[in-house]
Structure 1
């Protein structure tokens, strides 16, 4: 898929820049031509000599390069390529992209391009969680930029752990391959093999974490395996997929725009920002409640044996909010019902109360091993009745659900 592709690789200034060296090698192994652009910050971590040696190409570093700009070099870089890949993408660079700032070569190229842009963020977890960064990611997603990562892990520069680590080079390569498979389909016969080509699907996945204090939170046992599997299956079927994920340890699906959140309120905001869409699949196991008071300091035992009172307040209901929305509701809205008793009755009640079209109901009693496991047994509840599906792997459930969605949309 990458053979013969010309990829402009923008390397910005973060410690993850060292991974760009391996990324260049992986892209070239697959036949891609890699044209590097380095910011001044990137050159503090790796050298243009190393980048040029691995890429076997001229390394572009300056906007006001007399030789390169004789033929308006930044415009040529912006247009004479198949893909612009940013790895790592710092918070600063993404902020400039979101606001149209072009004060160096990298940002000028990004502002002038009409080609697909794949973004691999890398930054401190606090920077990724900052509302300003979240707003910039939402803006860039709405502008059509595709994200891969970031991942959870330990930060090299600070020893902190959290969400902000750049995706591994092979994951970035897979995302680039998936992007080309979706973006370059033009043959009608090829499109026929992609039943969701041209459709936008929004999917939520995983749990939410509702903070009690800086070290504790309310959550559930959802792994995100089923929601992520559905996102991967929808992307393989040709859909443009926006996956809004709570905290999970499963990898991001290739070719999918991933927006990572922590809380139910953040997830609702991200869903609303991602709409409109043809289909919304609310597979996340969102916490029903959160602490009424978010303590700034860790709650400590005082030796008295008294247990501190924890007051709860209800979280927003994402499925119901979208189901009852006058303008944002998709044409097909699918919810999930994870129950431990009265499965069908509870799913039918949820279907009516939340104005969903289908409910994917499953029994998550501990003895079934669904939460965190690789298998699932679901029933599809709709106004037409109940469909019983046999036990199967979560990837198989995802493929079957996506095929059913395609049949519905193409009927």
Structure 2
């Protein structure tokens, strides 16, 4: 979501300004274009050189550029406001909050703020002594900015520069970056047919207990399913992600439900069958589970051990049995040989609207890798072979195919 986005980071004169170079680096690493606006007081806490280095951009401090320079842009505060996709004030001091609420315009920060387009998001991160933050004047000014459309992120509690501990601490750079990405997601208008649709996605492996310390599972990392969840949320869908045991960060604006076994995933999915518009089964669900898991730890008492396995419920097949004509079912087929033949057979048997054939080679496609090579097969069994793509790019191509299946009036 950050890639290609234009972000203004406006810094006020507070001790929390020391966190901003780290924030800028995080945003740049995510692919964003970042320009920094620095008040005169902020320059006492963090240097212009540091910010220019991490942003790889000119830092804007003065409303009036030096006259002696050639090709001087005297309206750069206007061009900056037009350039920005989002305007972030961090830390936001009581003084700057008051100026923005009153509509004052006496420095580069306040001038850029006033030239923002009305539909561009504004994030303010107040950081100051707790008594200052809760004062009637600061709260009144924040209420005015909130009414004007800004989003106010209340400070955290913790150790303050005064040596006291309490309300007033600015969130850490990682938390700020996540909130910026979330706000950009909300404001992104892609005119997708998934806008407002309920999308349920399963992702990751399942674990089937042998005893209390051992289980049957597979190598699924969940990266493909999480990429689909993120891409669906970016399109404005209401996404529920049913995640097996994985170590992945929940994408912004996605509701995550953690499960462990295939039975738990089935029970969680079944509650959503009737209300979802699109069901995407990207999880590598175990086909079988031990019939009678041992309580405690199973002791070694012989050269061999036999396990009786019982078939697990087929989540996608159960959804397809009861789905209405307006609902869409999407599955994945991981194959090592006869891939197209097996994928078409699976699509027909499970009555799927779309199936993504994922040919496993263990190197560039399949489990625990960053790329995938998918073949998308629709209800007429026409196969669209995609090139080797990153999983986020493959997720977007998959959802482009799903969008074409959604009826305009559904």
Global fold match (TM > 0.5): yes
Q: Distance in 1 between matches of 2:252 and 2:342?
A: 34
1:282 aligns with 2:358: no
Alignment correspondent of 2:207: 209
What is the aligned partner in structure 1 of residue 404 from structure 2? Answer: 407
Confirm or deny: 8 A CA contact 1:241 1:256 kept in the other structure.
Answer: yes
Moved more, 220-229 or 400-409: 400-409
Task: State the distance in 1 between where 2:326 and 2:206 align.
Answer: 23
Q: Show the counterpart of 1:388.
A: 385
**Structure showing greater Rg:** 2
2:81 aligned residue:
none
CA contact (8 A) 1:176 1:255 kept: no
Distance in structure 2 (CA, Å) of the matches to 1:274 and 1:55:
46
- Are 2:379 and 1:318 equivalent residues in the alignment? no
Query: Cα distance, 1:221 vs. partner?
Result: 0.8
SS at match of 2:129: helix
Relative to the length of structure 1, the TM-score reads 0.58
CA contact (8 A) 1:235 1:256 kept: yes
SS in 2 for 1:400: helix
1:298 alignment partner, SS class:
coil
Alignment match of 1:333 (pick from 306, 329, 336) = 329
Alpha-carbon distance between aligned partners in 1 of 2:261 and 2:300, rounded to the nearest angstrom:
26
Query: Could you state the TM-score of these two structures normalised by the residue count of structure 2?
Result: 0.58
Tell me the secondary structure at the aligned position of residue 294 of structure 2. Answer: coil
Q: Which residue of 2 aligns with 1:343?
A: 339
Deviation at 1:234, TM superposition (A): 1.3
Contact 2:242 2:256 in 1 (8 A): yes
The answer for the alignment partner of 1:296 in structure 2 is 295
TM-superposed CA distance for 1:366, in Å, is 3.2
1:379 alignment partner, one of 356, 371, 375:
375
Write out per-residue CA displacement over residues 206-237 of structure 1, whole angstroms, 9 at most, x where no aligned residue: 11111111111111111111111111111122
Give the structure 2 partner of residue 241 of structure 1: 239
State the alpha-carbon separation in 2 of the partners of residues 250 and 205 from structure 1. 11
Task: Say which of 192, 197, 209 aligns to 2:195.
Answer: 197
Paired position in structure 2 for 1:144: none
Equivalent runs, 1:7-22 vs 2, <5 Å = none
Q: How far does residue 403 in structure 1 lie from its aligned partner after superposition?
A: 2.0
Deviation at 1:283, TM superposition (A): 0.5
Query: Which 4+ runs in 1 deviate beyond 6 A?
Result: 1-4, 25-28, 83-88
Structure 1: tracts of 5 or more residues without a match: 5-21, 36-50, 60-66, 68-79, 89-167
Deviation per CA, 1:94-120: give whole Å up to 9, x if none: xxxxxxxxxxxxxxxxxxxxxxxxxxx
Please say if residues 290 and 313 of structure 1, whose CA atoms lie closer than 8 Å, have aligned partners that are also in contact: yes
**Corresponding residue pairs, total:** 283
Give 1:343 shift.
Answer: 0.8
